[in-house]
Structure 1
Amino acid sequence: MATNANIDALVLGSGPAALAIASALANERLSVHVLSPLDRRHTWPYTYGIWGEEVDDLGIGDLLKHRWTNTVSFFGSGSKEENSPKNKETRHNHDYGLFDKNKLQAYWLKQCDEALVEWHLGTATNLKVNQSISTVTTSEGEEVTARLIIDATGYKPVFLKVPNNGEVAVQTCFGIVGKFTSPPIEKEQFVLMDYRNNHLTEAEKDEPPTFLYAMDMGNGTFFLEETSLGLAPPVSLDTLKTRLEKRLQHKGIQITEIEHEEHGLFLPMNIPIPYLDQPILGFGGAAGMVHPASGYLVGTLLRRAPSVAKAIAKAMENEQESPAVIAQKGWEALWPKDLRRKQALYQFGLEKLMRFKESQLRDFFTGFFSLSESQWYGFLTNSLTLGELINAMWKMFTKAPLNVKWGLFEMKGREMKLLLKFLSPEV
C-alpha cells in the first residue's frame, strides 16, 4: 500500500521529541504525517523533570503533576562531623517540577489533532531520497512519501548517520516509588543530588560514585532514585539497588509499600551530533539534543521545536526545493555553530566528571552551585549564550579547590578532541 498524498513532513517516532516537532510543524500549517510502531497514545515509560521557571516561561505550568519550592542538594560526606558546614544542605532557590506525562502527551496530541496530522502504525525499514521526494518503506509494506523525513526515534535512530566517537557515557538509575516507616527526606522537599556516602564501606567509596535523587510525592509517598551521573561502562543496576538499600538501612528506614520500581533508565549523555549534510533531519535524542551535563531534554524540545519548524516551513515555500536543501535549513536551525561549540564544552565537562572520584565530585558541585543562580541555572538549562557559558566555566575553575583544578586540567581522555570541536566545530 502506498501513501502518495502531498505530504510536507513525515516524522518517525511517537515519543516526546516526535510529538514536539510534529505539532510545531503542524502549527506552521504544513501537512504532517507521523509513523511509529506504537500507538500515538501509548504510555511513555519514563518520568520527565524540569525547572519551574522553564514551564512558567513557556506558559505550561498546568502540565506539571508536582512542583517543589524546597529544592536542595547535599555535597558533604555525611560522616563524622555531621554539623560541619560541608554537610549542610545546598539550597537551590528554584522550583523544580515533574511533568504529568499524560498531560504533556495530550498537550502535543491536541495540537496535532487540531491541525489534522495523520498517523501511521508501522516500522520504518527502508529510506530512499531523490531530488524531489523522500520515500519511507515499512516492514508492513506501506510506502509513505514526503518532502522531508524527520527521524525522532530516540537514541538509536532508524536512519540518521551519527559519528562514532568512542564509548558513550550512560546515566543509570534505580528507583522506587513507595511508602516507608519514616520519611526518607523532608516533607514537600525535592533533592536534586545527595552525595553523602556515610552508608558505604571504605572500599565502596573508591568505586564509581552515585547519588540520591529524591522527592516527596505527597500522601506519604516518596520517590527515591540512586543515580550514576554518567559513566562508560555504566554502573550496574544491582550496584545502584544495593546502594539505595544501604542508604535506607543506615537511616533505620524500611520500605512498607512499593507502588512502582524503575528498573534502570539508561540515558546516553554524550551522543555525538549527527552528520549535518544528511538529506533527512533529526530531532530529540536521535539528533544528540540531550544535555550532556544534566541529561535534560524536554525543556529543550519545547523551546526549540518552534524555531526549527519555522526554518523548515520557510525552506518549503519554494515548492521545487529538494529534500537535501530543506533538511540543510533544518540542521542549520537545530545546530548553529554556537550551539555546536557549546555542546563540545558540555561534553568536555562530562568527560572530566566521568573520571572524578567522589570527593572531587562533591567539591566540584559545591563550587558549581556557589556560582550565581543565573549562571548555574543557565548552565543546566542550556540557556546561556556561548560567551556566558565560557565565563561561568572559567569562574568555576578559578574558584575550585586544587583537587578539582587538577582534575579539570589533567588531559587523559577525549578532552583534546572535544576542545578542537569547540575551536572548530564540524560543518
Structure 2
Amino acid sequence: MVDCIDVLVIGGGPAALCIASELIQRGVAVQGMASNPVDVPWTNTYGIWVNELESLGLESLLEHRWKNTVSFFGAGGSNTEDQPTNHGIDYGLFSCAKLQRYWLSRSAGMTWHQDSADRIDVDSDYSIVVGISGKRHQARMVIDASGHCTPHINRPNQKPIAKQAAYGVVGRFSKPPVKSGQFVLMDFRCDHLTAEQRNKTPTFLYAMDFGKGLFFLEETSLASAPAVSETVLKQRLKQRLAKSGVAIIEVIEEEHCLFPMNLPLPDFKQPVLAFGGAASMVHPASGYMVGSLLRRGPGLADVLAAALKQQPSLKSAVLVRQGWQALWPTELVLRHRLFQFGLNRLMDFDETMLRRHFTSFFQLPQKDWNGFLTNTLSLPQLMKVMLHLFIISPWDVRRGLVLGGKPSH
C-alpha cells in the first residue's frame, strides 16, 4: 500500500515549481513528479513588465532591465524616418537560474519523483498516479502543471488552435541591431519583405540589448493557425538583418518557441486540477504567463490549504472542484473569453491593419494598455478599455474588430 499525501504535482517547469512552493509554504503535504531533475537549468527566456514584479517585491529575480522600451509600427523604407512608440514602462527579463532557485528554495525538502505520469486513476476519495516506471503514487488530489500538451486534462475540442511561434538568436553582430540599452517589444516594419511575403501571416521582431556587445533578436508570429514555420521565421529574420546591413558574427544560443494562444479552457468538472499552460493560463492577448503564475499561485494555494485544514476528510472530488473555482472564477473566465475574441479578430488582420491596430492600442493611457497586457484589469475596466480602443481606432480596424474576416483591397 502506498502512502497517501495531500497533493501530487506533475511537471518540473515554472508552473509546477510555483504551485508546489506555494502549497509547501502553507504546510500542505506535497510531492512532485517530473520527467527530468527539477534543478536542470531552464533554457527559455521569460520577459515581464517590471511593474508586475514591483507589486510583488520580486524585482531581484531579473537578469536584465530596460528603461528604453519601444515598438515600431511604421512601414519603414529609406525615405521614411522611423519614429518609435515609446512605452514608458520598464521591461525585464528573468534570470532563469534565480527564478528557479526562488521556487526551489521555498519548497526545500520536498520529494520529487523522476518519472512521467502514464495514467491517473481517480476515486472519490483519492487519486493514484501510475508512472511509466510502474510506480504508483497516491494523493488526495493531483495538480497537472506539465504544460499545454498534457494528455491528462480534458478540454473542449474546439476550432484549430492558434500558436505563437518564434525563432530567436542570442549572439554578436557586425553592428548593433538595436540601439544601446534598448528593448524593442514589437518591430512590425516590413520593408525587408517581398510583396508576396507581406500578403502572408505578419511577423515582428522582439529584440533587446544585453550589453557588452550581446543582443537577443527573435522573429515572432503573434498567433496563427496553422503556426508559422521556423523556416519562414529564420528567413524573415535573415532578410530583416540584411536590409539593415547587419550580419551575425556569432550565435551563442538559439531559441525555439511554439505554444498555443487560444487553447480552450479546461473542463472544470474533471477530477484532476491543472495549473499553468495545462490550465490555459497563457494570456491570449500577449502570450505571457509567468506574471500570472506569481499572482494566481498564492490564491489557489490559500484555498486548497484552508480546505485541507478545515476539513481533513474532505473528498478529493470536492477539493478539486474548489480548486477549479479558485483558479477560474467567473470574472476571469469572462475576461479570458474577451481576450480570445480579440485575438481571433487580430488573426484575420494583414500586416497593414495589424500595425494600425497596435498604433492605436499604444495610444491608450499607459495604465490601460499595461493592465490589458498583464490581465490585471477588472472586467468592467477591461470592457471600458476595449470600448475606448474601438473608438480611437481607424475605421478599417473598427470594421475588422466587429465583422472579422480578411480585409478587402
Same fold, TM exceeding 0.5? yes
Check the 8 A contact 1:171/1:227 in 2, yes or no. yes
Moved over 2 A (4+): none
Select the residue among 167, 171, 178 that pairs with 2:164.
Answer: 171
Q: Show the counterpart of 2:32.
A: 34
**1:91-240 equivalences in 2 (<5 Å):** 91-113=86-108, 116-240=109-233
Select the residue among 9, 21, 29 that pairs with 1:11.
Answer: 9
Q: How far apart, in 2, do the equivalents of 1:354 and 1:131 lie?
A: 42
1:141 positional shift: 1.6
1:45 positional shift: 2.8
TM-score, structure 2 as length reference: 0.97
Q: How far apart, in 2, do the equivalents of 1:411 and 1:370 lie?
A: 22
1:37 positional shift: 1.2
Select the residue among 287, 292, 305 that pairs with 2:297.
Answer: 305
Check the 8 A contact 1:127/1:134 in 2, yes or no. yes
Q: Show the counterpart of 1:63.
A: 61
What amino acid is aligned across from residue 58 of structure 1 in structure 2?
L
What amino acid is aligned across from residue 338 of structure 1 in structure 2?
E
CA deviations 1:134-184 (Å, max 9, x no partner) are 111111121111111000010112411111112111011111111111111
CA deviations 1:327-351 (Å, max 9, x no partner) are 0111111000010000000000110
TM-score, structure 1 as length reference: 0.93
What amino acid is aligned across from residue 270 of structure 2 in structure 1?
Q
- Size of the aligned set, in residue pairs, is 405
1:200 positional shift: 1.1
Q: Show the counterpart of 1:265.
A: 257
Q: How far apart, in 2, do the equivalents of 1:157 and 1:193 lie?
A: 31
1:79 positional shift: 2.4
1:131 positional shift: 2.2
Check the 8 A contact 1:151/1:158 in 2, yes or no. no
What amino acid is aligned across from residue 26 of structure 2 in structure 1?
E
Q: How far apart, in 2, do the equivalents of 1:22 and 1:158 lie?
A: 20
Check the 8 A contact 1:312/1:326 in 2, yes or no. yes
CA deviations 1:106-147 (Å, max 9, x no partner) are 10000100xx32111111112112122111111112111111
Check the 8 A contact 1:363/1:404 in 2, yes or no. yes
Q: How far apart, in 1, do the equivalents of 2:194 and 2:144 lie?
A: 46
Describe the SS at the equivalent of 1:345.
helix
CA deviations 1:381-407 (Å, max 9, x no partner) are 000000000000000001110110111
1:234 positional shift: 0.9
Q: Superposition RMSD on alpha carbons, in Å?
A: 1.2
1:320 positional shift: 1.6
Q: Show the counterpart of 1:275.
A: 267
Select the residue among 336, 339, 359 that pairs with 1:346.
Answer: 339
Check the 8 A contact 2:125/2:317 in 1, yes or no. no
Q: Show the counterpart of 1:21.
A: 19
1:411 positional shift: 4.2
Q: How far apart, in 1, do the equivalents of 2:104 and 2:151 lie?
A: 23
Describe the SS at the equivalent of 1:256.
strand
What amino acid is aligned across from residue 102 of structure 1 in structure 2?
A
Q: How far apart, in 2, do the equivalents of 1:411 and 1:226 lie?
A: 26
1:10 positional shift: 0.4
1:258 positional shift: 1.1
Check the 8 A contact 1:135/1:144 in 2, yes or no. yes
Describe the SS at the equivalent of 1:106.
helix
CA deviations 1:182-207 (Å, max 9, x no partner) are 11100000000000011112221111
Q: Show the counterpart of 2:238.
A: 245
What amino acid is aligned across from residue 150 of structure 2 in structure 1?
P
Q: Show the counterpart of 2:362.
A: 369
Q: How far apart, in 2, do the equivalents of 1:239 and 1:139 lie?
A: 37
Check the 8 A contact 1:3/1:142 in 2, yes or no. no
Q: How far apart, in 2, do the equivalents of 1:146 and 1:106 lie?
A: 26
Q: How far apart, in 1, do the equivalents of 2:5 and 2:34 lie?
A: 16
Q: Give yes or no for the alignment of 1:318 onto 2:308.
A: no
**1:377-388 equivalences in 2 (<5 Å):** 377-388=370-381
Q: How far apart, in 1, do the equivalents of 2:276 and 2:196 lie?
A: 39
Check the 8 A contact 1:170/1:269 in 2, yes or no. yes
Q: How far apart, in 1, do the equivalents of 2:78 and 2:59 lie?
A: 42
What amino acid is aligned across from residue 59 of structure 1 in structure 2?
G
Q: Show the counterpart of 1:416.
A: none
Q: How far apart, in 2, do the equivalents of 1:131 and 1:254 lie?
A: 61
Describe the SS at the equivalent of 1:265.
strand
Q: How far apart, in 2, do the equivalents of 1:94 and 1:153 lie?
A: 32
Describe the SS at the equivalent of 1:276.
coil
Describe the SS at the equivalent of 1:47.
coil
Q: What runs of 5+ residues in structure 2 fail to find an aligned partner?
A: none
